[in-house]
Structure 1
Amino acid sequence: MPDPGDKYIRYLKEAGCDPQVISHCITVREVAVRITDLILSAGTAKVDRDLVAAGAILHDIGRSETHGMDHADAGGRICRETGFSQEICRIVERHIGAGLNRSDRKGFGLSEEDRIPETIEEKIVAHADNLVKGSGIITRSDLDVSIQKFPHDVQARFTALADELEALAGSRLP
């Protein structure tokens, strides 16, 4: 049986994503679906597994145009032009870190709007992306060390996101 989200891989290729980006997106999908399955098994939240898989595969489609902080904005635009649902587009736009608020985005020269994950599916994809470096999966401890370079408020956002999903899953992730 094919993994959920496999049908979206072709859009990464058609957009011109390089093989490393595609490999990364596949690994993020694997981690995101694993987190989803833990939450569903725990019965703590309703999660659209197919939406998570699709959003995880497509989260870095904007890297076909840029590898800068604006890749999420580019990805959202590409997904809208392709005709994907608003839910998928928002997952793509809100996946960076634990989300970027208006102030964060201004600092990167992006439009001043909040892009913080709100739905459970958005949160799962953002966190899964945080747990994947290249095509390798890191531990929560590794994540905690890696976020030390960020300002305290950003660290707190990463930690809160991880803690929320671990509480829903009933275990440490991944």
Structure 2
Amino acid sequence: MKRVLILLAAVLMALPVWAVELGDDGLHKPDWLRDTFKDLREDLAEANSEGKRLMILIEQRGCIYCERMHRDVFPLPVIDSYIRENFFVVQIDLYGASELTDFDGQVLSQRDAARKWGMMFTPSILFMPEEVEEGQTAAQAAVAVMPGAFEAGTTLDLLTWVNEKRYALESEEDFQRYHARMIRERTVDLGD
């Protein structure tokens, strides 16, 4: 019995641990998150100056699906590096009282912004274009929305689809068709 316990302990210690620190707000804080003043117009300008896409990640304290994304999906090297290289990520608390400034200039709490945008699920991700028309909100301007937790393959495909601006192409390949093609062509199982 002692040998079994030692073997089990050795196996558990060998498993990867994707511990992501929690902030004072109870949200996961991977080091690729940007700490900004939450003026989305300024965040978009900074993302553009770095040649990256603005990604608004909406989460809440105690969200088991947020935890799963931070434990099982975001830390995968292929996804982690893709986010770091291509996205400027700003985190919003679904129930946060801290203020943000929406693209339309309205200053409101993160909680009120999430309501205004119709966000009900966490995690949710809004992917922004390089330019937002005057008067638009983040939800109106978003080129894509990820409503909830996705598996690694779907997440990677959505990140790629947005980053490559496939939403703006004149082809018949919407995200679902693109994702189905990527599943067929993928040489590594990402648990689509």
More relative contact order in 1 or in 2 (CA 8 Å, sep 6+)?
Answer: 1
Q: Which has the higher strand share?
A: 2
Normalising by the smaller structure, the TM-score range is 0.3 to 0.5
The structure with the largest helix share of the pair is: 1
TM-score, structure 1 as length reference = 0.32
- Structure (1 or 2) with the larger CA radius of gyration: 2
